[in-house]
Amino acid sequence: MAINAQATVGEMVVERPSRARVFERMGIDYCCGGRLTLAAACAAKGLQAETVLEALRASDAQRGPEPVTDWAAQGAGALADHIERTHHDYLKRELPRLTALTAKVASVHGGHSPALVELRDVYAGFAGEMMEHMMKEEKVLFPWIRSLAAGQAPPRAGIQNPVRVMMAEHEDSGAALEKMRGLTHGFAPPPEACNTYRAMLQGLAELEADTHTHVHKENSILFPMAVKLEEAAVAGTR
C-alpha cells in the first residue's frame, strides 16, 4: 500500500506495525481512531500531513523490511486466540498490580498532589471496565468469531451489533488512558517520586502502549474479518 494522506491510519499500521511508534510520538490515535484517513487524523491534531508522511517514510527506510503476521492467512480464530494469550493474559496480570500501586501512591502522595487521587479513581474505573470487556469477548464474541472461522453455523446472527458495542467500549478505554496520561504529564515522574511512584508510572505507560496495540488488532483486523466471515456465511445460505 502506498503511503499517502488518504490511507487510513489503521491500514498503515496493519501493513507495518512499527509505524505505530511514529503515530504515538505525534499523538495520533491509530487504534480507536484507526478508521480515519491520515489527512483527517492530522487535521484533528493540528498537524501537517506531509510532516507525518515524511516521518513515516523515514521510519520505514530506517527499519527496512519487517515481519508482519498475515492474519488473513492465519484466520480470525487464530487471531482471537493470540489476543487472549497476549493481551488479555497481560491485563489479567497487570491490572491488579496497578490497582495496588495507584491506591498506594494516592494514599501516600495524594494529600499534596490531588491529581494522584483522581488518577487512582480513573484507573479503577478503567480496570473494572476492561475486566468486564474481556469477559464479554471471551464468553460471547470470540467463540462466535471462532465458529464463523471454522465454517460452523454461527450461534446467532448480526455480529456487527456486538462489534459496535466493543468498539464503543474501546473508545471509553482510550479516553480513560488519555485522562491518565494528562494527570501524570505523560507518565513522567517528578524529581521527588519514590520507587513505588516511578513503578506505577512505568506500569501505566506500558499499559497504554499494550492497550493501543490490543485495540488496533481488534478494531482494524479482527472485527472486520469477523464481519466479512458472517457476510460470506449469510450469502452462502441464500
Query: At CA 225, angle to CA 85 and CA 8, rounded to 5?
Result: 100
- Examine the pLDDT at 89 and tell me if it is beyond 60: yes
- Examine the pLDDT at 70 and tell me if it is beyond 90: no
Instruction: Write down the residue that cell numbers 492530522 correspond to.
Output: 42
Confidence of residue 156 (pLDDT cuts 50, 70, 90): low
Beta strands in 80-211 (DSSP E): none
| Residues facing residue 37 across a β-bridge | 8
Dihedral sign, Cα of residue 100, residue 104, residue 105, residue 111: positive
What residue type is 199 in one-letter code? A
- Examine the pLDDT at 57 and tell me if it is beyond 80: yes
DSSP for 45-58 reads HT--HHHHHHHHHH
Question: What are the phi and psi torsion angles at 12 (to 5°)?
Answer: -65, -40
CA distances from 120 to 60, 117, 176, 178, 203 (A): 38, 5, 11, 14, 13
As a dihedral over the C-alpha atoms of residue 155, residue 161, residue 163, residue 164, rounded to 10 degrees, the angle is: -170
Retrieve residue 35's grid coordinates.
478508521
Retrieve residue 32's grid coordinates.
480507536
pLDDT tens-digit series, residues 193-220: 999 999 999 999 999 999 999 999 999 9
**41 touches 9 (CB < 8 A):** yes
Max Cα–Cα distance, the chain, nearest Å:
67
Most confident of 16-25, 59-68, 95-104, 154-163: 95-104
- Examine the pLDDT at 65 and tell me if it is beyond 90: no
The closest alpha carbon to 2, from 42, 31, 38, belongs to: 38
This prediction's pTM: 0.85
Give the model's pLDDT for residue 106: 97
Give the model's pLDDT for residue 224: 95
Mean pLDDT of 174-181: 96
What residue type is 29 in one-letter code? D
Q: Which helix (H) or strand (E) holds 181?
A: helix 160-183
Residue 75 has, within 13 A of its CA and on its CB side, a CA count of 11
Confidence of residue 63 (pLDDT cuts 50, 70, 90): confident
**8 touches 1 (CB < 8 A):** no
| Residues facing residue 8 across a β-bridge | 37
Q: How far apart are CA 84 and CA 137, in angstroms?
A: 9
Q: Where are the alpha helices (DSSP H) in 2-37?
A: 9-15, 19-25
Task: Kindly report which listed range (18-32, 122-136, 166-180) carries the lowest average pLDDT score.
Answer: 18-32
Q: How far apart are CA 100 and CA 199, in angstroms?
A: 11
Give the model's pLDDT for residue 236: 66
pLDDT tens-digit series, residues 116-137: 999 999 999 999 999 999 999 9
